[in-house]
Amino acid sequence: MKKTVFLGALTATSLIAGAAAAATLDDVKARGKLNCGVTTGLAGFSAPDANGRWEGFDVAVCRAVAAAVLGDPEAVEFVSTTGKTRFTALASGEIDLLARNTTWTFSRDTDLKFDFVGVNYYDGQGFIVPKALGVTSAKDLDGATVCIQTGSTTELNLADFFRKNGMSYEPVPIETNAEAIQQYTAGACDTYTTDASGLASTRATFETPSDHVILPEIISKEPLGPLVRHGDNDWGDIARWTLNALIAAEELGVTSANVAEMSASAGTSPEVNRLLGTEGDLGAMIGLDADWAAKAIAANGNYGEIFEKTIGENTPIGLARGLNAQWTNGGLLYSPPFR
């Protein structure tokens, strides 16, 4: 009997939660702020600067969504989450959007009841080696000692990769990234393997980064993207198409420098016109102003600009576009048409 009451209360709570979650857009508008979940700090992706202002690649997604919905890229309440608290924070409604280099996987999308709205960074597991080793390909690593974080999927990926290529390796098990850097720089292992973006930001912290190279082979798929709660498709659409708008803007040549000019009046390109709201009524279809995309782009620039500013080759992180180039340049970024 007691148990039934308890379960009933739980059901009622989740029903209320569901009802409340069904109108995230209204909640955000009423609040005047977007609650956006980010990491507690990951170089280049999200970290507060000396003045306490959040900066980074994932942060830019939050700001773009806030600009599209509320018209102000600063109207974001950043909620920092750890790897352990991120999903509960989203599921419980504490945050409206999670932009925290989270890998899109089957079980997270289905079993955990989230909706990934796209991919903002295609990551994958890579290798870093000292230049002095003279290795140019991961296929040359036969017999190498490899620093590897135990208990992670990277460990399994590594075993698969070496078995597939008929090579042997000697693992040096380590616990944390900091320990790995220590072991690697001390020469305890020939190579260190983890996500390529992590390798890049790690390399940036070395005294002489140019003495180390990240090998071109990527041995696993880690598509990182923002996600929202399952069940509020209207809100999911807004997040998805804001991300798509940033990607499409790069493809169509809309930048933070020219977006004001281009959205002032209809130009010659119909797709740009539809994107920026000077033609058609795409904004109304998702419950936003006509110039929602223009505001999102004006917040931080288009996808390419954000990439260059936060993690691109001219930053200390120094990531190449690689898979994250537009499809027209041989990458995987491909926004569905704005029509």
Per CB under 8 A, the segment of 43-51, 60-68, 118-126, 271-279 that binds other proteins is 43-51
Residue 304 C-beta-side C-alpha neighbours within 13 Å: 18
Per CB under 8 A, the segment of 117-125, 135-143, 240-248, 311-319 that binds other proteins is 311-319
- 114-116 vs 222-229, strand pairing mode: antiparallel
3-class SS of residue 59? helix
Longest Cα pair distance anywhere in the chain, in angstroms?
A: 71
Q: Find the binder of other proteins among 24, 34, 39, 247 (CB under 8 A).
A: 39
Torsion of CA 23, 27, 29, 31, to 10 degrees: 180
Q: Find the binder of other proteins among 172, 204, 213, 266 (CB under 8 A).
A: 204
Q: Find the binder of other proteins among 11, 13, 258, 329 (CB under 8 A).
A: 13
Alpha carbon separation from 9 to 12, 15, 18, 22, 339 (Å, rounded) = 5, 10, 14, 20, 45
Cα separation of 186 and 303, whole Å? 38
84 binds other proteins (CB under 8 A): yes
Residue 81 CB neighbours (<10 A) = 21
Q: Find the binder of other proteins among 7, 8, 74, 92 (CB under 8 A).
A: 92
Per CB under 8 A, the segment of 92-100, 242-250, 269-277, 289-297 that binds other proteins is 92-100
Give the count of residues interacting with other proteins (CB under 8 A): 38
Shortest spacing between CB 81 and other proteins, in angstroms: 5
Shortest spacing between CB 93 and other proteins, in angstroms: 5
20 binds other proteins (CB under 8 A): yes
312 binds other proteins (CB under 8 A): no
Cα separation of 93 and 186, whole Å? 45
Binding site for other proteins (CB under 8 A): 13, 16-17, 20-21, 39-44, 46-50, 52, 79-82, 84-85, 88-89, 91-94, 178, 201, 204-207, 315-317
